[in-house]
Every structure is written in structure tokens, then in C-alpha cells.
Amino acid sequence: MKRKLNITFLAFIILLLVTVNVSSQVITQKEAIKDLEHMVKRMEEVHPNLYFHLSKDKTKSKMEDIKATLRTKQEWSSIEIYRLFAPFTASFKDGHTGVYIGNKFREYYDEGGQIFPFDIKFIDNKVLIDKNYSQQEIAFNTEILAINDIEIDKIIDIIKDSISSENSIYAYAMMERQFPVYLWAHFDFDGEYILRLKDNIKDEYEIKIDGITKETRINAKEESESENWTLDFPRDDSAYLTINTFNGRLKNSFERDIKKYFKEINKRDVQYLFIDISENGGGNTDLAKYLYEYFNDQPYSLFKEVRMKYSEYAFRNQTSFFTKLYYSFKKDRDNMIVFQSDQVKPKDNDLRFNGEVYVITSNFTFSTATDFAAIVKDHDAGTIVGKETGGLASCYGDVIRDKLPNSELSFGVSYKYFLRPAGFDNGRGVQPDIELDIDKLKYSYDQEGYQNMVIKSIIY
């Protein structure tokens, strides 16, 4: 299955360090070095082409620099290990290969730790306050200039360098959704924040504000939390289908609801179908394929080809029965297996939509959602609208997870390479046919207004 990556929208979880301190777990200098060596060894074993961006020599040099840092003191906390290892794994430029802080953050958060009380949005090269979970009134379009006397540009640079991504656009998209997590992970703030802000009439001022607990944030989000998928009819001639995840664990409910949605679409005189995957971080290609066949009746391929490197770890932990069977007869296990993708013929479907299809993408469209956009674009099955996808159209993926033996941080490694249906790799995401600043529209309008503005931008 395609990339069972848990880009779990830590959007609930968002983020900073006080009374309950996860960095209290410490390991020795030697144990930290062993963690680094274990991680790189596993990455080399599993990844189809680990050094496609960062050379082996440069990797070795970076490792020696990290080891030199680790030798400067006898004990290291898990969060300090993350701060050293995350920029290292990010330098490989593979969004599916990296070290994670999520489990350590959850320990802190679940025990009542306080986090940054705002979500952020990047608009016109500014860091703006988006959602406000504090009791402090903040005007719309307020810009963050500094947090606890650290300039916001410096904070953003430090966080960006730690995010595993193929390109900077996805790194910024991840920051928007997990800013308080990253802030907690990289800065030893104590749950109290002095913010230097600039309001929408350009006046600068400072406020002092406390962090919030998990309970406070969840209660505040309950009313506004988006659903996994929804169907709206903003105009009589248009259906607007929002798909926020292709999570494979939701397959049964996904298929049930998609069928129900297209029954409703068929009852109406709908000419234009908008499929919004701008907030979709990925999941399982079975769901993407199921949706695609509701508006396409021509043979198609999910990928041109899929390449997988043989490794004992992948063989034991991740591969299918048929792949295991293949390798059981294989004498030379040091090379790559290449799966050529067959053309898929869609099943008969009385509910299939035959009008115009527009797929809305953004910098946060990633993994399987990017694949879906690539299938649509490469088979001329619809028009891509919005921004270039954060995920690459041809890329490494399908994640095998492991854990560092001493610090117990989890990390993931790609073990496959996917070539888009059109059969080329230009190092880019799926590029839109019609450019549209999706993020700015979402920031400026409520859901109904946003949908109407998307439609008006395309259909007059």
C-alpha cells in the first residue's frame, strides 16, 4: 500500500515545555553515538537511494560533526538528541525519511504541559496569527515579529532546517500545522511568552501571554474542527467535495460516504465538480483510486513504475506476501526489484460523474494526495487548481519505522521509489494548471466564502 505515513495532523496537538519535562530522560554520550550509528545503518540498509541528494562523504562528515558535539558532555536528553538528529535527517531531502519527536511531545502534552496558544499562517512573507486559543483578544491580520526576544525569522529558520521534506514549500506547510510542536521541540521556553506583534495598522506592541494545556486547546477546537471529508453545493451547478485524508484505516467509511455523495451529485444538475485536497497529507492509494474512478472511465495507471530495494528489515517487516514469495526464489538479493504498473480499467459505475472536474491543491498536499493529483494531471482527467503540491510527483515513499535503541525516538525510512504515471521525474510537485493562492483565500474567508471564491476564480 502506498505510503502508510502517519502525517497525523498534529493540528490538535500543537505544542511548549514547562512543569512536566520530557527532556528529563537522559542517555549517555556513548549511547547517543550508538543511536546515530543505528539510525544511519538502518537508513542505508532500507532506502533505495539514500544518497540521491546528500553524498555519502558529506553524510559521513555531518555524522562526525554530530559525534564531536555529543562528546562535549556526558549525558544527553531525548529532546537534545532530536535537535541534533532532525536537521541531519532533513538534509537528505526525503519527506518520508526523518526522525520524529511526536511520542515525546505527547508524553509532555498529556501530562498537562503548556503550549503556544496560537496557530500561524504564512501570508505575503509574514507570520500571521491564525487561530487564537488564548483569552487575549488579537486583531485579524496581526503579525508576529518575535517570541521571547527571539526574532521570528530566526525561529522559522531553525524549525525549517529540522523538517524532512523534498522542498521548502512543504516545510513551511508543515510549520503552519505544527508550529507549537516545533516551538516546544526547539526552544526551552517555559510556558510563558512575550510576543512582539504588529497589528493591521502597522503599530508594534508587546503582550505577555501564558501557554495553554491540551484540554484547553481541544475544547476550543471542538466547534471548528474540520471533518475528514465533506460535500457541499455552493452553487446549483457545482459540487464541492473536500477530502482531508486518504487514511487507509477509514477505508470502509470513505467508500460508503463517497458512494452516498455521488448519489446526491447525480440527483442534481451538477456541471462542475471541485475536489479539494489542499489539506490532505496522504494515506492509502486504495482510497485515491476509489475516488478517481467516480469521475474517470478510461484505463489509467497509479504509477509508471515502483522500485523497491531488497533488505532483510523491509522483507521481515513491511513487504507483502507476493513480494516475499518473489524473493524466496531470488538468489541475488543485492539489487532492486522494479514493479511495472499495469493499466487499471475502471469498473462500471452508474454514479460516475461526467462533467468538468477541478482538483484543488496546496503546499500541504502530500504523499498519496500528491499521487491523486498526479493521476488526474497525467491522464488529463481534470484541471489542477491552486498551488504546487508539497509532495513530489515522483519520489521516495512507503515508510518503514524503527526506534532509536537508547533515546527511544522513532524514525522512518522510505523503502520504495514511485515514478509518476507520465514517467518522468523533474524534482517537482504536481504543478497547477490554474494558479490560485489557496492559503490566502482560506485565511481571508470562512468555509462558504472560501469555496465560492475558488469557484468564482475559475467559473464566471
pLDDT of residue 316: 78
Instruction: Band the pLDDT of 8: cuts 50, 70, 90.
Output: very low
Cβ neighbour number for residue 125 with a 10 Å cutoff: 6
Q: Which tens digit of pLDDT belongs to each residue from 213-241? A: 988 887 776 544 568 999 999 999 999 99
Whether residue 308 lies inside any domain: the answer is yes
Q: Which tens digit of pLDDT belongs to each residue from 98-108? A: 999 988 899 99
Residue 162, C-alpha cell as written in the block: 529540522
Whether residue 60 lies inside any domain: the answer is no
Whether residue 279 lies inside any domain: the answer is yes
Q: What's the CATH code of the domain at 269?
A: 3.90.226.10
How far are the Cα atoms of 30, 37, 90, 240, 248 from residue 33, in angstroms, in the given order? 5, 6, 18, 51, 36
Instruction: Band the pLDDT of 323: cuts 50, 70, 90.
Output: low
- pLDDT at position 13 over 50: no
Whether residue 211 lies inside any domain: the answer is no
pLDDT of residue 202: 83
Beta strands in 270-405, from DSSP E residues, in sequence order = 272-276, 305-309, 336-340, 356-361, 383-386, 395-403
Q: What amino acid occupies position 86?
A: A
3-state secondary structure of 234: strand
**Cα 262 from Cα 460, distance rounded (Å):** 24
Whether residue 17 lies inside any domain: the answer is no
Cβ neighbour number for residue 57 with a 10 Å cutoff: 9
Pairing state between β 143-147 and 150-151: antiparallel
Whether residue 50 lies inside any domain: the answer is no
Pairing state between β 383-386 and 356-361: parallel
Closest Cα to residue 141, out of 153, 127, 151, 125? Answer: 127
Whether residue 385 lies inside any domain: the answer is yes
Q: Which tens digit of pLDDT belongs to each residue from 270-286? A: 999 999 999 999 999 99
**Cα 61 from Cα 176, distance rounded (Å):** 32
When divided into structural domains, the chain yields a total of 1
Beta strands in 214-353, from DSSP E residues, in sequence order = 229-235, 238-243, 272-276, 305-309, 336-340
The one-character DSSP state at 393 is: S
Structural domain including 286 reads: 229-458
Whether residue 376 lies inside any domain: the answer is yes
